[in-house]
């Protein structure tokens, strides 16, 4: 499976940087992946929180879809740890607090992230943690785009009840955050 490509662009009119997440051409032909990609854009765009990457727009050109989002000039948490080693207890607590606030905002809107992990947490130049990649998100009360029996998320961060096939809820996101902080 090929992942979407992230590119950086500068807007002509407003002269600001944006990140553009583009569906890989082969994945654009898969209607379920295209639907999931659009769902990510809608779910994330409905959220406004200082610890969630802002979505600006969803663009379509034929079969190709792109999400235009806020550019965060900083590494994801997995890269940060790989380059500089584990966070201090104080820094980890700060990341945990900020992502917990982001998840709380999403959960209040009925949105489950379902893939909280270090690579989906960006750290901006001021050190603020920002949750991104709502590609596995589920809106409570709505049917999922993924197939029945399909695990959604990254195995190392999935709550045991999700791995066992029980429907996950907001607690599974909190569990994934705990595993991320352990990382």
Which two tokens mark 10? 């500068």
User: Which residue among 15, 73, 115, 133 is the active-site one?
Assistant: 115
Active site residue 115: yes
Strands (E), 23-110: 55-61, 64-70
Q: Which residues are catalytic?
A: 115
């Amino acid at each position: 499976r090929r992942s979407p490509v992230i590119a950086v662009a500068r807007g002509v009119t407003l002269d600001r940087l944006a990140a553009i997440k583009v569906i890989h051409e082969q994945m654009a032909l898969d209607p379920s992946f295209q639907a999931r990609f659009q769902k990510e854009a809608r779910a994330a765009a409905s959220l406004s929180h200082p610890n969630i990457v802002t979505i600006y727009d969803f663009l379509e050109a034929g079969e190709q879809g792109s999400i235009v989002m806020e550019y965060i000039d900083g590494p994801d948490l997995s890269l940060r740890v790989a380059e500089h080693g584990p966070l201090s207890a104080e820094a980890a607590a700060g990341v945990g607090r900020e992502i917990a606030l982001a998840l709380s905002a999403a959960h209040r809107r009925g949105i489950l992230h379902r893939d909280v992990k270090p690579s989906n947490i960006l750290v901006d130049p001021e050190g603020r943690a920002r949750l991104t990649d709502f590609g596995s998100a589920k809106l409570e009360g709505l049917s999922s785009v993924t197939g029945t029996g399909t695990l959604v998320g990254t195995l190392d961060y999935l709550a045991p009840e999700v791995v066992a096939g029980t429907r996950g809820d907001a607690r599974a996101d909190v569990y994934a955050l705990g595993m991320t902080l352990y990382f």
